[in-house]
């Protein structure tokens, strides 16, 4: 499988130090993940004190997606309950959409089970769908009570987002050689079940 997000166009809400490319949204798809600290120049950072945070990558066309891997900011410290950045990652969402609007797409993952001791620094999400935009979203809304351990504010602190796809649209299977059913523009990349019909 190939990382189809590598060096693709990106965007984030409320970049920290907007004029400073050290925190640019493109850092999350530059292929670099050896320094997972804020000032290492390989991570995305959003402004502080935000209620919502959004980041997306535009795959530039509709792709068959198999799984998504997110490397979160660890500040190169041990990743456990005492690492302050675990609380910022908790509760995150991942959507795949054909537009930049997350609610127009499909929810691939919403963290409702992790806590500061169990959330992984690298989240592996299986999401066998088709789409053009992979959207990371998190929120800390003022009228919602969140579980103990969640940060007060929402953050984008992604150091790398990898999106793995295996088939061109219209095919499925382990070697992408099986055509989707007739009148089907795209299908589930493992089962072949139609997910998008032709007009």
10 Å Cβ neighbour count for 83? 19
With tokens 């493992």, the residue in question is 190
Q: Which of 56, 63, 153 is nearest to 102 (CA)?
A: 56
Q: What is the pLDDT of residues 80-125, one digit of tens each?
A: 999 999 999 999 999 999 999 999 999 999 999 999 999 999 999 9
132 in Cβ contact with 24 (< 8 Å): no
Q: Mean pLDDT across the chain, nearest whole number?
A: 92
What distance in Å separates the CA atoms of residue 56 and residue 97, rounded to the nearest whole number? 10
Mean pLDDT of 165-176: 72
Mean pLDDT of 164-177: 74
Which domains, and CATH codes, for the chain? Answer: 2-166 (2.60.120.260), 170-199 (no CATH)
Q: What is the pLDDT of residues 32-55, one digit of tens each?
A: 999 999 999 999 999 999 999 999
Tell which wins on pLDDT, 130 or 140.
140
Chain mean position to CA 3: 13
What stretch of H or E contains 93? strand 93-97
pLDDT at 168: 67
**Sign of the alpha-carbon dihedral angle for 28, 34, 37, 38:** negative
Find the DSSP H helices in the chain.
86-89
Percentage of the residues of the chain whose pLDDT score is greater than 70: 97
């Amino acid at each position: 499988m190939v990382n189809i997000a590598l060096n693709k166009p990106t965007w984030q809400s409320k970049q920290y130090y907007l004029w400073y490319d050290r925190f640019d949204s493109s850092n999350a798809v530059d292929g670099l993940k050896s320094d997972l600290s804020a000032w290492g120049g390989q991570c995305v950072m959003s402004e502080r004190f935000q209620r919502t945070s959004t980041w997306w990558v535009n795959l530039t066309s509709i792709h068959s997606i198999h799984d998504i891997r997110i490397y979160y900011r660890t500040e190169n410290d041990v990743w456990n309950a005492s690492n302050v950045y675990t609380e910022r990652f908790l509760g995150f969402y991942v959507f795949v959409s054909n537009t930049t609007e997350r609610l127009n797409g499909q929810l691939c993952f919403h963290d409702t089970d992790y806590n500061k001791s169990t959330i992984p620094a690298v989240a592996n999400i299986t999401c066998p769908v088709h789409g053009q935009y992979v959207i990371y979203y998190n929120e800390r809304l003022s009228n919602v009570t969140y579980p103990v351990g969640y940060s007060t504010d929402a953050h984008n602190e992604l150091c790398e987002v990898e999106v793995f796809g295996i088939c061109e649209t219209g095919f499925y299977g382990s070697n992408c050689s099986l055509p989707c059913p007739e009148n089907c523009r795209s299908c589930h990349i493992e089962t072949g079940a139609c997910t998008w019909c032709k007009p």
